[in-house]
Amino acid sequence: MRAVQLPIYYGWLVLAASAVSEMLATGATSYASGLFVLPLQAEFHISRAGANSAVLILFLGSALTAPHVGRLLDRYSLRLMICLGALIFSAGLAGIALAPSLWIMALLLLLPVGAGFAAIGPLSTNTLASRWFFRRRGLALGLAAVATSGGGFVVVPLLSQAIQRLGWRQALLWEALVLAVLIVTVALLIVRDYPASSGLAGHSENSGRAEAEARLAPGGGPVRLGTVIRSRAFWLAALTMAFVSATSQAMVVTLVPYGIQLGYTVRLVALLIAAFSICAGVTKVVAGLLADRVDLRWLLALAAGLMAAAWLAVTLSSAYANLLSSACLGGIALGLALPASAALIAGSFGAARFGTVMGWAYSLLLALAIALVLFAGIVFDKAGGYQPAFIAFAVMLCALLLAILLLPLPRKDVAA
């Protein structure tokens, strides 16, 4: 199917359409998870760790399904996958809103919501960015990553107001309906799978792609797991993305109840999440521009260092200024890590294999996020506060920074 001739490269429209899907999915889940902690505690009389486990179950489902979804993205129509994923995801959310018990909610989070999120979230957006862009791939991946920050900035305030007015169950029902309609409509109208399907394989954006892809996969065919796990580029990208993203997810989950516990208003606490999202969004664009021009290892190292500084800041004082500084530093670190990691994977394995390799990287990311968010909740229940967990996160990120600086990439592990 040939796209309508436009004054701009059609890939930008495809990227924007997929980013809408990612923004809504991420905003409705990982960014909004903190909004449901206190309502779940109040309704079901569970511990803080138990209330935090909702996002952990979602991540577990996505971690289990991401490698399979990644392979499907490489083999089948991405537009079809996004539409199916949106319907499955929304049906799962609606089921949770109507579910009478915690175990039914957990099952719905694990399977339909977890699998649907894998199909409509960052994995699909980054796969499309890698397919449609070559010369400006870093910029495209940076802009694609902005969608996750947009979710926190757009979805969280709206959902927060809906929960206060309607209750969390009714708000979740309306959210499910809106998500399904918006994502399916945008995907059907705009998303196309490859530049070739729109007659744009010869566009200047794709100049040199064929040669580069041939060097990365001279024998053709799917990438083997053994090849991936032997690649230092994969581990450098995956571990940085996993540690920075997982600790930032822990930050998003803990800042809301932590701020409320300190006596700050819901509006001030929501502003922390908004600040995190804005800083991450702006930085992702800058990081995308830099990813096309500088050594990606330095971007990853900077991300690890700033994330460590974010956790140190929140441990120094409970003053609102420190919380705000921590949220901003964490957003900047996340903004650096996501596009740089995706660009390294795309440059090392090629667009045709990106979905599969990134699916494995996301499994690692989500598994670590599960462990760290659960750890934060357990620490709160045992110690009566989050401070020991915050310090542990800072130590982990300092260790990651040292690993990045001491283990440079071999030339053979990165595309020329």
What is residue 104's predicted lDDT score, i.e. its pLDDT?
A: 93
Q: What's the rounded Cα separation, in Å, for the pair 416 and 411?
A: 8
Q: What share of the chain is helix, strand, coil (3-state, %, to 5)?
A: 85, 0, 15
Which among 96, 64, 81 is positioned nearest to 191, based on CA atoms?
A: 81
Query: Residue 218: is it exposed, middle or buried by C-beta count within 10 angstroms (0-12/13-18/19+)?
Result: exposed
Which residue is it, tokens 């001279």?
218
Q: Per the structure block, which two tokens stand in for 345?
A: 């994977």
Q: What angle do CA 117, 311, 402 make, to 5 degrees?
A: 90
Domains and CATH numbers, the chain: 10-192+224-406 (1.20.1250.20)
Length of the chain: 416
CA 220 to chain centre: 29
Work out the pLDDT band at 202, boundaries 50, 70, 90.
Answer: confident
Q: What's the rounded Cα separation, in Å, for the pair 74 and 81?
A: 11
Q: What angle do CA 182, 185, 191 make, to 5 degrees?
A: 115
Which among 416, 409, 380 is positioned nearest to 240, based on CA atoms?
A: 409
pLDDT over 70, % of the chain: 93
Q: What's the rounded Cα separation, in Å, for the pair 17 and 20?
A: 5
Q: What's the rounded Cα separation, in Å, for the pair 188 and 170?
A: 28
Work out the pLDDT band at 336, boundaries 50, 70, 90.
Answer: very high
Please determine, for residue 4, whether its predicted confidence score (pLDDT) is greater than 70. Answer: no
Work out the pLDDT band at 219, boundaries 50, 70, 90.
Answer: low
What is residue 377's predicted lDDT score, i.e. its pLDDT?
A: 78
What is the pLDDT of the chain when averaged over all its residues?
Answer: 86
What is residue 149's predicted lDDT score, i.e. its pLDDT?
A: 65
Cα–Cα distances (Å) from 74 to 5, 21, 260, 415, in that order, read: 26, 18, 44, 20
CB 351 within 8 A of CB 130: yes
Average pLDDT on 118-137 reads: 91
pLDDT (tens digit, 9 = 90+) per residue, 59-94? 889 989 999 999 999 888 999 999 999 999 999 999
Q: What's the rounded Cα separation, in Å, for the pair 175 and 93?
A: 8
Q: What's the rounded Cα separation, in Å, for the pair 416 and 83?
A: 36
pLDDT (tens digit, 9 = 90+) per residue, 172-195? 999 999 999 999 999 999 999 988
Which among 125, 121, 124, 123 is positioned nearest to 143, based on CA atoms?
A: 125
Which residue is it, tokens 């960014």?
31
Query: Residue 383: is it exposed, middle or buried by C-beta count within 10 angstroms (0-12/13-18/19+)?
Result: exposed
Residue 77 CB contacts under 8 Å (≥ 6 apart), including other chains: 193
Which residue is it, tokens 């109208």?
189
Range scoring the smallest mean pLDDT among 89-98, 130-139, 304-313, 394-403: 130-139
Highest mean pLDDT, choosing among 39-43, 246-250, 305-309, 318-322: 305-309
| DSSP for residue 113 | I
